[in-house]
Every structure is written in C-alpha cells, then in structure tokens.
C-alpha cells in the first residue's frame, strides 16, 4: 500500500476537534482517489485526538504533534515546514470533503494546467450537518481582479476550505501568514497571492461542505478583528502597484468594501466589552479614513453618512452601551418568543 505514488496532500490543523474531527477525517479517508496523504497538525490536543488517529492505523495518516500549546497562527504556520505532495489543500477540522473531491479536482487540474489555484462549488451545513444554503455560483475561471471584485461586492463565497494549489507555489508565497490575529483575512491574502501567479479555475460540481457554527472568526472580539482587517488593507494597498487590473477593481469597489467593514466591525466593537478593547468606535472610523487614503486615494469617503456607522459612533459611551444592550436583549427575546409561538 505504501508504494502508491501520492499526488495530493490534505492538511488538517486541529486542536481538540471532538466528534467534528472524526466526521472530517472519515470523509477524507472515503475519497474515491487513493493517491493522497492526510497530514494532521495536532496542536497539543487533550481530548484523545491523537490516540483516536493512531487507532485508525491508516498508512495515509501522518500526525505532526506539538510539544506545547501553540496559537492558531503558529500551528497553521507549520504547514510550510511539513513534507507535502505535488498538490495540497487545507481543511478545517469541522468541514467535510465529499467522496469525489479529489476526483473532480484532478479533472479540473487536467483541464486547467496553467491555473495556480483551484476551487469548486460547495454547500454550507449547520452543527448537525444539515444544509443551510448552497454557495453562490462562480464561473469556471477567475483572474485576481475578478476574484477581488467578488470579495469586495460580496457576490462570491470564499472560505478557508476546499482550495487546492501546488505545494511549491504555497511555499513560494510564504504560506498562510501568521501575522493576522486568529488568521482572520489571512486566507484572503493567500488566495490573492496564488491567483496572481496565474488564475483560479473552479469546478461546477459541489464537492465539499463548510460548517457554520461558533467558529474562531465568529467569536473573535472587535479589536482583534479590526487589527486583522487593517493588515489586509495594507496588503491590498500594496497590490495596487503590482497589477493594474487589481488597481482598477480597488478603485471601483474599494469604497463599497470599506463602508461594509467599517459598519460591521463598528458593530462588533460595540459588542466587545470596554475592558476587552483599547480602541473606540470613533478611533476605528478614523482608521478607516486612513485606509481609504491609501486604498482609494482621491475618492471621498464619508462613513458617518451611513446610519449604521453613525449610530455605532453615538452609542459607544456608557449610556449608549446600556441602551444598546437593552435593545439587543429585547430583540433577541422578541425573536425567541416568535419562534416558540
């Protein structure tokens, strides 16, 4: 069995994955194609993860343990250092590959040998594995400017799972950056770097499932989230001078994206305890003005004209936060009563 020439590496970072991990690993081992290895980057799990993996006694599983607890950033940074096959993909421990994932990806690579990133359609599932919705439809090929336009307009779903790339390219661009807190927006930067080598090819088939639940990104506080956002804005500003088509896309849709995140992250800051942050909503809005100055120079950026941003700025004080919490408690209670009735 061990003499099979492996083409694919499936990389699985995990810390205390529980029953989600077992579902994930079983979905990987059930692939129609057998020319792959599964590399598990275990982050000092204490729930029996390593013991269960060893009990499977499957030659395709390679376990890389850590001798101490690592941050999520440092655990994922290990991806660049492990041995990998020609092509690689990264999967979250709570996501699932459909049995034909590698089979379809192999066909896609044969059809688009000059692509530098590969993806497919997928579905969102909940905690129980039931369908939430299908991802938005993507065309077969996307260049960096088109991919970025989809992100900025939010007309494309881009998650961390499902992407496939050449291992050489992954290492050449430096892998996923550990400089993003909780890796938020780090995958966006990685996909852009890889697509700019060539282009992205997308399979029409739906071949993996992404699980929606209380993930790290959903639970991350507002200040951490806005720090990651600031780093991504810095990266995009640098992309302007590299690719004229990307610069044109930023000019066209950058303001739309900035306003969206200025509002959503202002709301996230409001939900973050004053003790858990050193930045105010007003400070963050000022930072967004700075991002606009470098990302979309010469364009008028007036976030306070948007009611959601204005309201967040006005509520970010002791009295306003009390009113905000009362409002949230009332609306949540009202929704719960309507569901029960």
Report the distance separating Cα 269 and Cα 323, nearest Å: 15
Against a cut of 0.85, is the pTM above it? yes
Q: What is the pLDDT of residue 323?
A: 60
Q: Are residues 156 and 88 in the same domain?
A: yes
Q: Are residues 105 and 46 in the same domain?
A: yes
Q: Are residues 46 and 94 in the same domain?
A: yes
Last residue of a domain, one of 217, 247, 262: 217
Name which of 171, 159, 281, 303 is nearest 226 in CA terms. Answer: 281
Structural contact between residues 73 and 47, judged by C-beta atoms closer than 8 angstroms: no
pLDDT in tens, 160-207: 999 999 999 999 999 999 999 999 999 999 999 999 999 999 999 999
Is residue 36 pLDDT above 80, yes or no? yes
Q: Does any domain span residue 251?
A: yes
- What whole-number percentage of the chain has pLDDT above 70? 89
Residue 69 tokens read as 């607890």
Is residue 1 pLDDT above 80, yes or no? no
117-125 and 200-211: which strand pairing?
Answer: parallel
Last residue of a domain, one of 162, 186, 217: 217
Is residue 107 pLDDT above 60, yes or no? yes
Last residue of a domain, one of 182, 198, 217: 217
Residue 54 tokens read as 């060893």
pLDDT in tens, 130-156: 999 999 999 999 999 999 999 999 999
Residue ranges of E strands in the chain: 8-14, 36-42, 61-64, 87-90, 96-97, 117-125, 131-134, 141-142, 164-166, 200-211
Count CB-CB contacts under 10 A for residue 219.
8
Query: In the structure, what pLDDT confidence band is assigned to residue 121 with cuts at 50, 70 and 90?
Result: very high
Q: Are residues 174 and 315 in the same domain?
A: no
Give the residue numbers spanning the domain of 103. Answer: 8-217
Q: What is the CATH number of the domain that holds 154?
A: 3.90.550.10
For residue 262, the number of C-alpha atoms closer than 13 Å in the C-beta half-sphere is: 29
Helix, strand, or coil here: 29?
helix
State the DSSP code for 198.
S
Q: Domain count of the chain?
A: 2
Q: Does any domain span residue 341?
A: no
Q: Does any domain span residue 201?
A: yes
């Amino acid at each position: 069995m061990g003499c099979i020439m492996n083409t694919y590496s499936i990389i699985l970072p995990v810390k205390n994955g529980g029953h989600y991990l077992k579902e994930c690993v079983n979905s990987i081992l059930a692939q129609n194609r057998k020319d792959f290895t599964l590399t598990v980057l275990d982050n000092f799990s204490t729930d029996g993860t390593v013991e269960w993996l060893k009990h499977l006694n499957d030659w395709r599983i390679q376990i890389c343990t850590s001798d101490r607890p690592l941050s999520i950033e440092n655990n994922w940074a290990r991806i660049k250092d492990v041995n990998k096959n020609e092509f690689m993909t990264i999967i979250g421990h709570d996501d699932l590959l459909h049995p034909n994932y590698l089979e379809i990806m192999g066909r896609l690579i044969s059809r688009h040998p000059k692509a530098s990133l590969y993806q497919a359609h997928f579905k969102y599932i909940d905690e129980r594995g039931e369908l939430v919705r299908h991802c938005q439809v993507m065309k077969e090929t996307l260049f960096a400017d088109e991919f970025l336009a989809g992100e900025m307009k939010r007309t494309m779903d881009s998650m961390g799972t499902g992407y496939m790339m050449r291992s050489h390219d992954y290492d050449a661009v430096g892998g996923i950056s550990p400089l993003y807190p909780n890796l938020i927006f780090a995958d966006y930067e990685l996909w852009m770097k890889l697509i700019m080598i060539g282009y992205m090819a997308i399979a029409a088939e739906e071949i993996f499932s992404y699980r929606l639940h209380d993930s790290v990104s959903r639970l991350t506080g507002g200040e951490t989230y806005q720090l990651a956002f600031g780093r991504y804005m810095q990266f995009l500003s640098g992309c302007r001078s590299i690719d004229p088509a990307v610069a044109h896309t930023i000019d066209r849709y950058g303001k739309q994206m900035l306003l969206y995140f200025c509002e959503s992250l202002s709301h996230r800051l409001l939900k973050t305890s004053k003790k858990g942050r050193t930045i105010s909503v007003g400070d963050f809005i000022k930072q967004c003005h700075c991002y606009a100055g470098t990302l979309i120079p010469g364009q008028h950026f007036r976030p306070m004209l948007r009611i959601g941003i204005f309201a967040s700025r006005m509520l970010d004080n002791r009295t306003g936060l009390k009113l905000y919490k009362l409002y949230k408690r009332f609306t949540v209670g009202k929704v719960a009563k309507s569901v029960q009735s």
